[in-house]
């Protein structure tokens, strides 16, 4: 089995949907900025050496539809013969993309790949389009459409988490992120848009 190495890890800044500074930046462009930023960190890698690109996207429609990974690859200026695929595992879509590329390298299907994710909650909000669930599933297995909010409510009950505990955890998490950002902890990973 072939070893897998991450040689560059970057991201774009996080915006504030729907009013933030990135609200008019397309998700395929965001992904292209990240791809270009990663490639700049590996100057000896020729773009033609990239054998596959997999990007995760929780809502692959509208501006993030039509295989957003493929569009991002072309927008990033990679050769037209570099393949790309978009995967959807909702909130874990980007992680799934990383797992797929890692598995392809481990099993020696490819040597070099790019993995990540893209999403624009400003351009493609979760509730922004008509939702048409399968009638059979809504009757026989409605949990198939369970969103993160209801999942959280279920976990609160299952693990006995109080509202105060959840709020305190969220506050501490945001404080840690703000402190880390102020101290420059993310400077090396954020690429300009």
Model's pTM, two decimal places?
A: 0.88
pLDDT at 171: 97
Question: Which positions ≥6 away from 68 have C-beta within 8 Å?
Answer: 27, 28, 31, 55, 57, 60, 86, 118
Q: At what angle do helices 68-75 and 27-40 cross, to 10 degrees?
A: 50
Sequential pLDDT tens for the chain (193 residues) = 999 999 999 999 988 878 889 999 999 999 999 999 999 999 999 999 999 999 999 999 999 999 999 999 999 999 999 999 999 999 999 999 999 999 999 999 999 999 999 999 888 887 767 788 899 999 999 888 888 888 888 889 999 999 999 999 999 999 999 999 999 999 999 999 9
pLDDT at 150: 86
What CATH number has the domain spanning 1-130?
Answer: 3.40.47.10
pLDDT at 19: 86
Q: Do residues 32 and 75 touch, judged by C-beta distance below 8 A? A: yes
User: Where in the chain does DSSP place strands (E)?
Assistant: 52-56, 84-87, 113-117
Per domain, the residue ranges of the chain are 1-130, 132-186
């Amino acid at each position: 089995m072939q070893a897998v190495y991450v040689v560059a890890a970057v991201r774009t800044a996080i915006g504030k949907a729907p009013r933030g500074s990135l609200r008019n930046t397309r998700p395929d462009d965001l992904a292209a900025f990240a791809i270009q930023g990663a490639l700049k960190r590996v100057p000896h890698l020729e773009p033609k050496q990239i054998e596959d690109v997999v990007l995760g996207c929780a809502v692959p429609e509208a501006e993030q539809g039509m295989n957003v990974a493929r569009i991002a690859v072309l927008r990033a200026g990679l050769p037209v013969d570099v393949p790309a695929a978009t995967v959807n595992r909702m909130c874990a879509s980007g992680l799934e993309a990383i797992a797929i590329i890692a598995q392809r390298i481990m099993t020696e299907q490819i040597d070099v790949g790019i993995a990540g994710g893209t999403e624009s909650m400003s351009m493609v909000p979760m509730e922004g389009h008509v939702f048409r669930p399968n009638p059979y599933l809504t009757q026989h297995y409605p949990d198939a459409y369970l969103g993160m909010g209801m999942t959280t409510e279920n976990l609160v009950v299952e693990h006995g988490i109080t509202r105060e505990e959840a709020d305190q955890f969220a506050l501490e998490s945001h404080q840690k992120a703000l402190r880390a950002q102020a101290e420059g902890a993310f400077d090396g990973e954020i690429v300009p848009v």
